[in-house]
């Protein structure tokens, strides 16, 4: 079978970055007792009230084709939520419901890029970002955010990347950002977002802002770049129920953008998923109605575990905790051990039965780091952090 170049090059011809995770899962399936700190999956399950609302909606008949843009009430609720949180006028016509945040991300890039166009994204990055760009025929170009700068992208690096793309004859058309950030936990302050906006205006870029961790902020505040002056008309914002409401498997997300663009994106959704299951949308609508206090309860374990990790790592010099201002992850700088992130993670798995993600899975800027998901209960999490610290100290 002769397959398309687009689909056979989605991973760029190499690993998709999940080798260690796959190895750990295989060991678990073989009966090994592994402490898993790899993926961003809540250790709590979806609240039973949300599941009951989903069940009632299904029994009530919401099992047929749902409106492709999303049910009106949910689009209205998402629009209201964003307007209240960002101060930016948002209507249901700016909102399309998608099959999770990943589908929204794909739709945004499909809207922004033609074949061969360049899309910039920040390194370190979530593993699917370059593959999503390639999957629509785009050229991914990473822009390094230095660890010594808190993994915040600079105007100079972004401007240089956009200028270089134009010089190669493949001008950048889009820029993907993610704050709060996976994997680094960085929360972009206003001056960083202003620098990003300035580059976007200078080079006429569409900004795609992945804001799925907007309820998980431990220091500072979440600011949406869409709220900056003049940016609403050149931004797509990706959101999701997955992280804010522990509804990862329900696959309910959204894409927010200029009304004129959303009609074209709707044509794409009609020819891909053809809508999201009505009963999960009804459950999402119910979940949003639980309010910000509920979202804070979902986020609270990660803030608590962040504090546990900070305390457990005090007074040692083998590893350094990069400032985790948001999201459900920690980045540990393990360069003092003399190992790469890949080697450290593999050795930790084989010798201490703890699975973490190598920083290299998220790009070259995270080399010499490992990412820890704070997604197991407090006591075993604290024990795992102390074990990682002891393991690291033995290597120095």
Q: For residue range 301-342, what is the model confidence (pLDDT) as tens digits?
A: 999 999 999 999 998 889 999 888 999 999 999 999 999 999
Burial code of 105-136, b = ≥16 C-beta within 10 A, e = fewer? Answer: bbbbbbbbbeeebbbbbbbbbbbbbbbbbbbb
- Are both 35 and 91 inside the same structural domain? no
Return the structure tokens found at 338.
């003399």
- Are both 220 and 254 inside the same structural domain? yes
Read off the pTM.
0.96
Could you tell me which residues come within 8 angstroms of residue 305 by beta carbon, excluding any fewer than 6 positions away?
A: 374, 378, 381, 382
Residues of the chain with pLDDT under 50: none
- Are both 258 and 173 inside the same structural domain? yes
Pairing of strands 172-178, 35-37: unpaired
If you average pLDDT over every residue of the chain, what do you get? 96
What total number of domains does the chain contain? 2
- Are both 270 and 388 inside the same structural domain? no
Q: For residue range 339-361, what is the model confidence (pLDDT) as tens digits?
A: 999 999 999 999 999 999 999 99
- Are both 242 and 332 inside the same structural domain? no
Whether the CB-CB separation of 325 and 217 falls below 8 Å is answered with yes
- Are both 246 and 382 inside the same structural domain? no
CATH of the domain at 346: 3.90.1150.10
CA–CA gap between residue 361 and residue 358 (Å, rounded): 6
Could you tell me which residues come within 8 angstroms of residue 192 by beta carbon, excluding any fewer than 6 positions away?
A: 152, 153
- Are both 298 and 389 inside the same structural domain? yes
Tell me which of 274, 291, 308 is where a domain ends: 291
Tell me which of 242, 273, 291 is where a domain ends: 291
Closest CA to 51 of 265, 267, 293, 250: 250
Helix, coil or strand: residue 216: coil
Tell me which of 291, 319, 354 is where a domain ends: 291
Enclosing domain of residue 95: 48-291
């Amino acid at each position: 079978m002769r397959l398309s170049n687009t689909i056979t090059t989605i991973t760029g011809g190499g690993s998709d970055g999940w080798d260690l995770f796959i190895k750990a899962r295989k060991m678990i399936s073989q009966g090994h007792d592994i402490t898993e700190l790899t993926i961003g999956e809540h250790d709590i399950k979806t609240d039973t009230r949300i599941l009951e609302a989903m069940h009632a909606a299904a029994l009530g008949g919401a099992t047929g084709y749902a409106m492709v843009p999303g049910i009106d009430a949910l689009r209205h609720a998402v629009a209201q939520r964003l307007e209240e949180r960002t101060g930016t006028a948002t209507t249901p016509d700016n909102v399309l419901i998608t099959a999770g945040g990943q589908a929204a991300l794909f739709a945004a890039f499909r809207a922004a890029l033609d074949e061969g166009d360049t899309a910039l994204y920040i390194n370190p990055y979530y593993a699917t970002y370059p593959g999503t760009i390639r999957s629509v025929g785009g050229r991914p170009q990473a822009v390094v955010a230095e660890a010594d700068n808190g993994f915040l992208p600079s105007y100079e690096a972004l401007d240089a990347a956009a200028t270089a793309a134009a010089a190669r004859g493949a001008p950048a058309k889009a820029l993907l950002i993610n704050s709060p950030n996976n994997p680094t936990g960085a929360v972009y302050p206003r001056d960083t977002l202003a620098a990003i906006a300035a580059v976007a205006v200078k080079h006429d870029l569409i900004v795609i802002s992945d804001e799925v961790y907007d309820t998980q902020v431990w220091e500072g505040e979440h600011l949406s770049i869409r709220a900056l002056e003049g940016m609403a008309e050149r931004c797509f914002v990706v959101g999701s129920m997955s992280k804010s409401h522990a509804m990862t498997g329900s696959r309910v997300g959204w894409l927010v953008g200029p009304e004129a663009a959303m009609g074209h994106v709707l044509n794409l959704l009609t020819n891909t998923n053809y809508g999201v299951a009505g009963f999960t949308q009804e459950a999402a609508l119910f979940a949003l109605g639980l309010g910000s206090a509920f979202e804070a309860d979902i986020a609270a374990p990660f803030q608590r575990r962040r504090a546990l990790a900070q305390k457990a790592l005090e007074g040692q010099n083998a590893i350094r905790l990069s400032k985790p201002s948001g999201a459900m992850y920690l980045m540990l700088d393990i360069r003092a051990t003399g190992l790469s992130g890949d080697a450290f993670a593999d050795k930790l798995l084989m010798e201490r039965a703890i699975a973490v993600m190598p920083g290299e899975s998220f790009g070259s800027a995270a080399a010499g780091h490992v990412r820890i998901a704070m997604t197991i209960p407090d006591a075993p999490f604290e024990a795992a952090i102390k074990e990682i610290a002891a393991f690291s100290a033995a290597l120095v």
